[in-house]
Structure formats: C-alpha cells, structure tokens
Chain A
Amino acid sequence: MLKTFKIGGVHPEENKFSADQPAEVLDFSKQVIIPLSQSLGAPSKAIVEKGDLIKVGQLIAKGESFISSNIHSSVSGKVLKVDQVLDQSGYRRPAIFINVDGDEWIEGIDRSSEIKKEITLTKEEIVKKVHELGIVGLGGATFPSHVKLMVPEGKKAEVLIINGVECEPYLTADHRLMLENGEEVLIGTSILMKGLGVNRAIIGIENNKTDAIANLAKLALNFDGIEIETLKVQYPQGGEKQLIDTVINRQVPSGKLPIEVGAVVNNVGTAFAVYEAVQKNKPLIERTVTVTGKGVSKPGNYKVRIGTSINTLIEKVGGLPENTGKIVSGGPMMGKALNSIDVPVVKGTSGVLLFEEEEARRIEPTNCIRCGKCITVCPMGLEPVLIAQYAESEMWEEVEAERAMDCIECGSCQYTCPAARPLLDYIRLGKFKVGQIIRIRSKK
C-alpha cells in the first residue's frame, strides 16, 4: 500500500501530455516586463530608473520587509520605464519594463553546466545567499524561502520534506526537472538541509512519475540522509499539510506552520533554484513552465526567463487553438484564469493551460442535494457546503466558526459537487471577509 494523506482527496484525470517533452530553453523576447510583487508579502521596491543599462542577474528591486524578496533582471538591456502593468487578475500593479539588448551577464555567475557538489558555505551564509538572490517557493504560493530557513526560536526542525508530488493535473514542470536535473535537485536538498540544520530529508513523489522516482532513487545513493518516498496519486497531496501527513504522519494544528511539528516543506523547483543560487551564484531569473492543453498541437515544458510574456509561450506551442475558452495560469485545480495573455511570467507561474470552450464552460449550478460528497473529499476535514451557504447568506461569524480560514482552496469540493455548486468561490469570499474582520479585530 502506497502512502497518502488520511482524509479526503480526489483523483482528477491526469492529462500529463507534456511528460516526455524535455524542457526547452526559450529565447527571450524583445521586451520583458518584471512585476514588482512576485512573492507573498509586501511588493519589492524598484532600485533602477528609466534609461538605466542593466545586465542579466543584476538586482533591480529590493524586498524591504521581512516577508518579501529581491528581484533580479532576467535579461540585459535598457530600462524602458517603471510603470503599471496588468497582473493575472487584470488589476494594475507596478512593474519594470526592460528593452532587451543582447545577453550580457553580470560577473560572478557560473554559467557552465558543470555540477558543483561540494557545499562550502556555512549555514548562515546559505540563508543569506537564498535571501539575497531572491529565491521563493516555486510550488505556487511563492513564499520567500529564506523565511522558511530561519527556524523561530523555541522550535526545532527535524526533517526536511521536498515536494516532488506535482499533484495538479496537466503540469509536468517539476517532473521534467527531477528527470533532467536530478543531481542538482539533490544537491539543493543537501544545501537546504545544511541551512536548516537537519540531517534527514524526504523527497515525496507520486507514483505516476516512475521514471523520476527511479532517477532520483539511483542518484540519492550518493547523498547522506536523503530518502525518496513513492506516494499514491491523490490530489491535493502537494499541499504542505497534506504532504506532512502523508510522509511523516504528523498533523499540523489549525492555523499553525509546519515547523510546529518539526517539518519544513520545499518544492523540488525551489531546491533546484537554491542549488543554482548557492553553488552557481545565479539568482532566480528563470523557471520551468508547462504549456499544455487538449487542443494544443505540441504541448511542452520551457525554461523561461521571468518577465517573458505568456503570449510568447503560447506562440511557441503553435499559437492559440481556435476554440480556446479559457487560459489558466497554474494548474487546472488551483490556477487562475487570465484576463489577458499579455501578462508576464512571474516566479510563481508553473504552467499555462489552454482549455477548449467545451471544457472551460461551467455547468449551471442546481440546488444542493445534500449528498455530503464535498465533506468526504475535503482534505482539511471541513464542511464546504456549510461554509459556502453561510458565506452566501453573509453570516461571517458562522463562516469563521466553521474554520473557513483553514481551507487551502484546493477546489476538491467544487470539483466533486454533482450539483455543480460554486462552493470554493463562496468559501473564498468568506475567507476574504473573515480575513478583513480578523484584521480589524486585531487592530482594536
């Protein structure tokens, strides 16, 4: 019996079309737009001005608060302007526009493909490096990685869990990374272990990526303290709390961080970025993005410089299919439908999915038939139907009492609902309102 988390979960159709497409390096476009808020927390502050000449890897925006990250230029060229750009929701956010000119890198970045295995930096130096080079969690939530490495006083990290689950259907970026850059991922894991001061790391991978498991298991023999764990295919196993439950059988208490149970979770993408930052001095300026969809003629994985327009990616896979109904950034379960395709790829963009009109259309919701399926599949043990009903009737105290803030927004409830009720939509609304209420309360 393969391990999985204890409560809830669904298994949507996997549709991993691009699983055997090697990650291809995408030529950067003429202009890149680098948004200033690419990670969780406060937006960074631009430190370049219009007309400045910049090189690849140069720091262009500084994260000023504790939870925020530095942003580096992914191209070389001239700063066109610091202006507003549409984000994925269609709201305007500040960004740096750069006109690309050549590909000149700043000194000190090791661009060779040689693998550097020896870790020379100390624990403190590793954390500093990860902070300086703007590494954020690449699993989707873009939580600044240096914050995770700083264990709060009184707590002790016991085990590092590396998330290679990629439980979202369609996405294959992490899969390809584990296959092609397995050794780098393992070195990155060792670096994270050193940074945290733990001597045990577990890489959790779902059973639908057997080649990646085999590859990493073989390579891991040369690394101390790294285990590879094969997991049952179940969504949302990639959720932090679910993965901890699966791998070490500990439950993170409501409203607490994983460190409470002695675990720290990082994505394989993050481990790779940490390797590049610490061993090669390369900031987080590119990431692997899966571009796929049922109607796409040649789905694939691409190594993209941050700031490249999503439009460029779509052109690369053969243009927008005629009957496209929805374009989603991220996975199909948790991703966000785009308002416009002229938005740039950011640190958190794991995939671009093109859905056909037929697939994208929502089914007309009918009345709740009280079957309780949403309660069965909720991985957090909540009652989505109740929270959604309370939120619909604007009963915010009840929404809070039903522990809506514990919801990880995985969408399993809405996916499974036979009456096609917009459960998650209302839960999100409830979470937003309850969040506002909590903020007001804490100010008092």
Chain B
Amino acid sequence: MNDIIIYSVISLSLIGIIAAIILHLVAQKFKVIEDPRIDEVEEILPAANCGGCGFPGCRNFSEALVKSAHDKKTIEGLNCPVGGNDVMAIAAELLGLAAEEKEPLIAVIRCSGSHANAPKKVHYDGPATCAFAHNLSSGESGCPYGCLGCGDCVAACDFDAIYMDKTTGLPVVKDNCVACGACVIACPRDIIELRNRGKKDRKIFVSCINEEKGGVARKNCRVACIGCSKCFNVCSFDAITMNNNLAYIDYEKCKLCRKCVVECPTHAIHELNFPARKEKKVEVEKTVESKKVADNAAEIKK
C-alpha cells in the first residue's frame, strides 16, 4: 500500500520536473522581447477600447504608437480622440517625441427633420433599428436622406454622449462627446459628422444632407437645404461649397460670422452655443423644433 503512494509521488514529480524543463527551454526559444514602453503608453491611454483611433483597442494603439516612434521617429497621424491633446502629449513625452496639437472634434447631427418639421406620412412598425429601416424604405417622413429616429447611434455610443430627444425624434449630442466616431459608422444614412469643436464650442453647420432638388426636398421637410446658394454668395471666406443641391460649410475655413445663418431661407443652417443676437438683428425665426435642438445642446453644456 505504501509502495503505491511512494511510486506515484515519485513518478508524478519526475513528470513534473521533465515538463518544467521542456517548458523552460521552449520559453527561452520562443521568447518575445516586448518594448516596455508599450505597457507604459497603454497605462496612460483611456482604456475605453472604443476604436476611435482606428485600432481595435487601446493595446493595439499603443503598439502602433511605439512601432511608429521606433521606425519612423514620429507619431504623426496617430491620435487618440478620447484622450485628446493631453494624453497624446504624455504619450509623446514617454516616447521622447513632440506631439502635434489637434483640434478636438465633436459629432453633430446634420438633420433637422423632427416630427414637426418633417411630418410622418407613413407608419413604420418594424424592428427598431435604423440599419433595417434604411434598407426597407425611405422612412416615415419620406425624406430618403433624413434621420430615421430608431437610435442606432445611441446604441453605438460607448460614452453615453448621445440621446434621443422624444419631442423632436432626433438624436442630440451631449458635450461629453469624445468624437470616437462610433455613431458616424452606425448611422446608415451618414447624417452624423465629426466637426471642429471650435472656439467656446461654437459651431455653424448645414443641418441637412438632402441632395434632392429644392422643391422635392421641401415637400418632405420644411427645414431642408434647397440648394439656393444664398449662403454660398454671402460667405466672405469661401467656406461654403455647393454640391448636388446641397450647401456644405468647411469648418476649417468658417470664421463663425453667422451671416449665412441669417440668410438661409429654410433655416437649414444651425448655430450652436452663440450668445443671443442683438434685438435689431433678430430676423431669424427658427422653427420651434430646431430651436429646441439648439437649446437642448446649450442646456447640457451648462
């Protein structure tokens, strides 16, 4: 009886020792020498794994940073939108390089087709996902470019930075948006755009992406861009381009003068976070809804 115990202990120990030697040799042979800086850089990254940098996770991004610093001696083109300039500066310091300053971005919703502005013509009762609704039909308002209101962008956001406004039926971006771009990818209609945050978070943008002719677009939505070129003509900075019956404001050229906002006959151009205009100039009678969108955004900012 005792013999059995002794033999089994001895044989198992021997197997253990042999296996340990093999494992040790294999570990020596296949050892991967990793740059310790990868861990250091990863440590300072936000660890949100949102994919906003273009890599699957923060670990991959830090690997890419270290590789780029090692091979090209620069980390240009790599940016963590969540961490912003602060994090990138620390990362650059760790790698012994200089970080480039990047203007922070924020997502904006380029559609004002709320319940009031773009009344429903048909009723959609399918699954509440924009991806399916987009494939199925042009949507409840009939605008084939507008927001479908099922909230795929809200579901995609990892930062709780976007929510659905029940009264307007449109998503609203909160101020804590980190511009990771998840909602931009989630939106089947490409309504959401990442734009410059701008000075004091002030922004001017065309809140419509409808490329149909003016009359057709207006039939479905009263605040649609009709491609009249009025804003294009009034802009002194060449910031506005007209393409396919649609105006687009280049945020890098825009000087936030607000001339175009006043000029737009359909109130398709939105201004965000600006102080109220002087009494005399108040010509802009925005629709109740679009004002609400702006107000909401302002409130959240507070």
Contacts and interface: CB of A to CB of B under 8 A. Distances in A.
B132 A429 contact: yes
Contact of B137 (A89, A361, A425, A433): A89
Nearest to B213: A84
B121 interface: yes
A429 B134 CA distance: 10
B135 A90 contact: no
B137 A429 contact: no
A434 to B, nearest CB: 13
B138 A91 contact: yes
Nearest to A422: B127
Contacts of B122: 90, 339-340
Contacts of A429: 127, 129, 131-132, 135
A6 interface: no
A362 B124 CA distance: 10
A90 B137 CA distance: 6
Contact of A428 (B135, B138, B139): B135
Contacts of A340: 121-122, 142
A426 B135 CA distance: 11
B126 interface: yes
A92 interface: yes
A232 to B, nearest CB: 32
A89 B122 CA distance: 11
B137 A339 contact: yes
B244 to A, nearest CB: 13
A90 B142 contact: yes
Nearest to B128: A422
Nearest to A388: B127
Interface in A320-368: 337, 339-340, 361-362
Interface residues of A, number: 19
Contact of A89 (B121, B131, B138, B216): B138
Contacts of B52: none
Nearest to A327: B122
B283 interface: no
B288 interface: no
B104 interface: no
B144 interface: yes
A289 B216 CA distance: 30
Main secondary structure of the interface of B (DSSP, over half): loop
A66 interface: no
Chain B: number of interface residues, binned into ranges: 10 to 19
Given A92-B212, A422-B127, A432 B135 contact: yes
Interface string A202-238: 0000000000000000000000000000000000000
Contacts, number: 47
Contact of B127 (A86, A426, A432): A426
B129 A339 contact: no
Contacts of A392: 127
A86 B142 CA distance: 10
B276 interface: no
Nearest to A363: B125
B33 interface: no
Nearest to B131: A429
Nearest to A421: B127
Contacts of B125: 361-362
Contact of B142 (A339, A361, A425, A432): A339
A375 B3 CA distance: 60
A299 to B, nearest CB: 23
B132 A426 contact: yes
A92 B216 CA distance: 11
B144 A425 contact: no
Nearest to B142: A90
B126 A422 contact: yes
B136 interface: yes
B136 A89 contact: yes
Contacts of B212: 92
B144 A428 contact: no
B139 A90 contact: yes
A429 B121 CA distance: 24
A96 B216 CA distance: 18
Contacts of B132: 425-426, 428-429
A140 B271 CA distance: 49
Given A90-B144, A91-B144, A425 B126 contact: yes
A429 B127 CA distance: 10
Interface of A: 84, 86, 89-92, 337, 339-340, 361-362, 392, 422, 425-426, 428-429, 432-433
7 contacts: A89-B138, A91-B144, A92-B216, A340-B121, A425-B126, A429-B129, A432-B131
Interface of B: 121-122, 125-127, 129, 131-132, 135-139, 142, 144, 212, 216
Given A90-B142, A422-B126, 12 more contacts: A92-B212, A92-B216, A339-B138, A339-B142, A362-B125, A422-B127, A425-B127, A429-B127, A429-B129, A429-B131, A429-B132, A432-B135
